[in-house]
A = this chain, B = another copy of it.
Amino acid sequence: MRLSREQSREETRRKLLASASELFAERGVNGTSIEQIAERAGYTRGAFYGNFDGKHELVVALLTRRTERAREELAEMCGRATSSEHLTSLLHAWHRDHAEHQESWLALRLELLLYALRNPEIRPLLAQRELFARDAITEGVRRELVRRDAGPPADPKLLSMIVHALEDGLLVQRLLTPDDVDDRTATDAVTLLLDSWAALDTRKKD
């Protein structure tokens, strides 16, 4: 099967981006040369510079694609879920997918975070991804609280941000002390938060 010219162009960009995310996870953004990226994708440096202005534009493209992908996946999950349990199980499956490649996934996340830390202009791009994740959590939490007859949370954005931060922080702790964190720890901790939040809401209503 032959590819048309513009199909081929898209294909090249796609391969280069895939190769770059692998290498960024393995060796870091700064530790990866353009040559290595091109080589793993099956091209030469010339092809790279024909498709990207340089490493910076590549990172921005990578970030954009990741954000867009997360948006689609999460929105699709929220739409597909028929019940609270279904949605939470979907969200957990999503997390578990990441957990499979755990270390390299965490590595890429940290690399991109550091990149955003040093290039403030692209922070909104990364922040957007967090917001999508939090939104999905908001939806899951909302349904869960309703199921418990606890009513909708008082401040859903804040709660989902906290839940998200907790899950994220646990990934790091798991890397450093794997014995202290297992798959259940995250769900247990989140349940704990929800219990407390529900109680708080009840109290407020009184």
Contact = CB atoms under 8 A, between A and B. Distances in A.
A193 interface: yes
A199 interface: yes
Interface residues of A, number: 47
A166 B162 contact: yes
A127 B172 contact: no
Nearest to A191: B196
Contacts of A193: 192-193, 196
13 contacts: A27-B30, A27-B118, A103-B117, A116-B175, A126-B176, A130-B173, A161-B180, A165-B170, A165-B173, A168-B173, A192-B197, A195-B200, A196-B199
A165 B169 contact: yes
Interface of A: 26-28, 30-31, 103, 106-107, 110-111, 113-114, 116-118, 123, 126-127, 130-131, 157-158, 161-162, 164-170, 172-173, 175-177, 180-181, 185, 189, 192-193, 195-197, 199-200
Contacts of A30: 27-28, 30-31
Contacts of A166: 162, 165-166, 169
